Amino acid sequence: MSRIAYVNGRYVRHRDAAVHVEDRGYQFADGIYEVCEVRGGRLVDERRHFERLVRSSRELRMRLPMSRAALGVVLRETARRNRVREGIVYLQVTRGVAPRDHAFPAPGVAPSIVVTARSLDLAAREGAAEEGIAVITVPENRWPRVDIKSVGLLPNVLAKQAAREAGAKEAWFVDPAGYVTEGSSTNAWIVTRDGKIVTRPADQGILRGITRGVLMDVVAAQHLTLEERAFTVEEAYAAREAFVTSASQIVMPVVSINGRPVGNGAPGLTAVALRQDFHKYAESA
């Protein structure tokens, strides 16, 4: 079966899918995106992802090319045409195609939109969660507006590559005061020795993860104590557990940080329990 992508109003073969060389996403990373989990053929937390897309577009004064309802149709149709039951849909909107000039193009220039879908191996994902992942830390070097889900991800790319070269799966950015901000493509969490769940507030310095928001409901439902505050790398070394969250990984236990085992070096019970319950609290449609 050949993969299909949605590009500016048309479903095309993935290998033929292309945007113009003067697309502002390509020239300036002048674009925004979302990644939504597909589970049992349904979109997970579509409403929240759309709301965050709207917020990103407002912050960048970028027009969205379609309504929530129309976009929902395209996301589902792209998943369907690619026979994705378990996986992700990826959506990107850019400020469109125009002669290269840093300032915004003329108001009439249409935004570009691309949607792709990809299956993920459920068993492999569960296997990874049973093993847990290693994390390294890197200095925070991103712009202050990481609350916008922009396609400008070069520091994240370099951080993820550093992790890979160190034999780890994720890199946590650490701000100049020694506090963890977030992962290169995930939010960061710890469980303290006395069982409190700690994650950084999303008012600045991190992306407000959709998975993060839903997980807070799971934390409350399990009668656990949440502390929304920044934590240091030292605190993470001493934590009972650590984990990361994202739409494609849900809750992924962290078993080592910079080569030091977290807790007993195995996935923590809290992380596993939160992961198990996640989809009871996520919206699915």
In whole angstroms, what separates CA 161 from the centre of its chain? Answer: 17
Residues in the chain, total = 285
Per-residue mark of binding to ligand PLP, 12-51 (x: CB under 6 A): -----------------------x----------------
Query: Which of 232/248 has CB closer to ligand PLP?
Result: 248
Taking CB atoms within 8 Å and a gap of at least 24, the contacts of 26-31 are 26/94, 27/100, 28/102, 29/150, 29/151, 29/152, 29/153, 29/154, 30/60, 30/62, 30/94, 30/95, 31/62, 31/92, 31/93, 31/94, 31/95, 31/112, 31/150, 31/151
| 281 within 8 A of 48, measured Cβ to Cβ | no
149 is catalytic: yes
Q: Is 113 in the site for ligand PLP (CB under 6 A)?
A: no
CB of 212 to ligand PLP, least distance (A): 6
Query: Which of 75/97 has CB closer to ligand PLP?
Result: 75
Q: Is the dihedral of CA 239, 243, 138, 228 positive or negative?
A: negative
Residues in 127-156 at the binding interface with ligand PLP, rule: CB under 6 A: 156
SS3 content of the chain, % helix, strand, coil (to 5): 30, 30, 40
Q: Is 186 in the site for ligand PLP (CB under 6 A)?
A: yes
Count the neighbouring beta carbons within 10 Å of the beta carbon of residue 185.
20
Contact with ligand PLP (CB under 6 A) among 94, 116, 245, 256: 245
Contact with ligand PLP (CB under 6 A) among 140, 170, 182, 241: 182
d(CA 174, CA 263): 21
Query: Which of 35/109 has CB closer to ligand PLP?
Result: 35
Using the contact rule CB under 6 A, the part of the chain among 92-100, 206-214, 217-225, 230-238 near ligand PLP is 206-214
CB of 108 to ligand PLP, least distance (A): 32
Read off the amino acid at residue 250: I
Instruction: Catalytic residue, from 149, 160, 169, 280: name it.
Output: 149
Query: Which of 27/185 has CB closer to ligand PLP?
Result: 185
Contact with ligand PLP (CB under 6 A) among 210, 239, 257, 282: 210
* Widest Cα–Cα separation across the chain: 58
Query: Which of 75/98 has CB closer to ligand PLP?
Result: 75
* Residues making contact with ligand PLP (CB under 6 A): 35, 156, 182, 185-187, 207, 209-212, 245-247
Q: Indicate which residues carry an active-site annotation.
A: 149
